[in-house]
Each structure stands twice: as C-alpha cells, then as structure tokens.
Homo-oligomer: A and B are copies of this chain.
Amino acid sequence: MDIISENRAFGGTQGVYKHNSHSCHCEMTFGLFLPEEAKVGPVPVIWYLSGLTCTHENAMVKAGAQQWAAEQGVALIFPDTSPRGEDVANDDAYDLGQGAGFYVNATQKPWAPHFNMWDYITEDLPSLLQEEFPLDMSRQSIMGHSMGGHGALTMAMALPGRFRSVSAFAPICNPTASDWGRKQLSAYLGDEESTWAAHDATLLMRDKGFDGPVLVDTGTNDQFLDLLRPEALAEAATARRQEATLRLQKGYDHSYFFVSTFMEEHIAFHAEALYAD
C-alpha cells in the first residue's frame, strides 16, 4: 500500500492510499479519514459509497463528512466506484464501465476480469484496512449516494451482522425496474434476470430486510427521481415493518449540496448504532 497524500483535517487525518486489488486485478485508490481518537486505539468505521462518475475524491472533498466523523470519533472510508486503468474495459457512456461499477461482480465480457466491486468492498478492502489502520471492524456502518446508496443498501441486507446501520442519499432503490440498473445489470451480469435480484434494494427489502435501523433521504426536486424509484423501496420497507426513516426533503436535488445538508444527521444516526452496547 502506498500513501498518496495525508492532510490534517478536523484534528484527525484525511489520507489517500493506493494498493493492488486482488478482486479488481488493478491498482485501486481510496480515501480514509481517521479521527484524533485513532491515535490511542481502534475506532468504529463508516463506509461511504459514491455514485456514478465519482472517484474516491468527490465525497471526500464535497460532502462535509469529516467534521461530523471527528465529532463522533469514527473513521470514514471513501472507496473508488470501479476499477480503473488503460487495461480495464470501459464505455463511452457515463453510466457504464469506469466510474460505474454498480457494486457487483461482473460475469460477462468485457467486464468480468476487473469489475468485481462487490468483492472489493466486502472482502478485499476490509482486510487491507484491518491490517493497516487502527479500525474496529466489529463496529461498521455503511452509507452511500445514488449508485452508492444502492451499493450500501444491498450490501447491508446481503451481509447480516456486518453493518450495524445503513443510510443512503438519493439511492437507486429498484434498479431491476429502472434505466439506472437494467442496462448495467444486463451488461455486467447478463440477461438472466434472476441473477439481478441480489442487487436490488427493493427486492432485498421484500425478501429479507435489514437487522438494524435504515435512514434514506431523497430530494423532492431530484432531477433523477424517476430513475431512483424511492416509492418502491418505501412500499417494500413499510410492508415489511422494517425499522426505517424514509424522508423526502423539500426542494433538494441530487447534488452534493443536498448530501452535505443532511450529512450531520446521517453520521449521528450511524454513531448511535456504532456506540450502542
């Protein structure tokens, strides 16, 4: 693992690191904020998964999350959204290929060798983090924005016991019924739609739900509301009697101005779960 940069921030350190990923078979870059408390012992962890077109950097510089993580004494992990590099397949569209990994393990050509973001986030990166940094991996929560909200919700439900809480900003809630989903799941996983269900938060909510609290914020002026389908997740969560807070925020859109506005509440929500018992 190589250090790309380390900047002091809010009493802690915002680092950027790169390493060779076993899952993605390429070099991957991630950001990690460690609060001051990490100097004296392991701290709880919140994952932040980013959306389409983002790298590790967007949320790290625009979401305003570090200040609240510092206040709560928790670490923040900002992974990239896909494998990258000249040897890695790509597409001219902004919503397929590099920057658009969709948090799945691709089985189809040309994506299969590198596009394994599910394994990268759930296995590869956690084991590196545990080795290299003072993190308490028994206390993890996860959140994300848009495509990253999709990733956070699906991973939280698919891996019971891993995450204590899950939250999302404007998540893609029902990708098997959306143009933000059908295109990518078809490309990465193939046309057999039964393989898609494991990557649809609404279907997972119907099928199993999440053993912990859920918080989802979506703006009423989100320009992608039709693609996100928050109504599908709301129906599924309510039918299941899932412990959840689902909010429509008046006038907000899909931008980081929306994300940063509600970041304090999301971090506090996760901290409450991370410090319980």
Contact = CB atoms under 8 A, between A and B. Distances in A.
Contact of A219 (B8, B64, B256, B261): B8
A255 interface: yes
Contacts of A67: 64, 260-261, 264
Interface in A222-254: 251-253
Contact of A253 (B8, B10, B257, B264): B8
A258 interface: yes
A62 B59 CA distance: 10
A32 to B, nearest CB: 13
A7 interface: yes
B257 A8 contact: yes
A67 B14 CA distance: 21
Contacts of A219: 8
Interface of A: 7-11, 14, 61-62, 64, 66-67, 219, 221, 251-253, 255-258, 260-261, 264
Given A7-B253, A9-B257, A10-B257, 17 more contacts: A7-B255, A7-B257, A8-B253, A8-B257, A8-B258, A8-B261, A9-B258, A9-B260, A10-B260, A61-B256, A64-B64, A64-B67, A66-B257, A66-B260, A67-B260, A67-B261, A67-B264
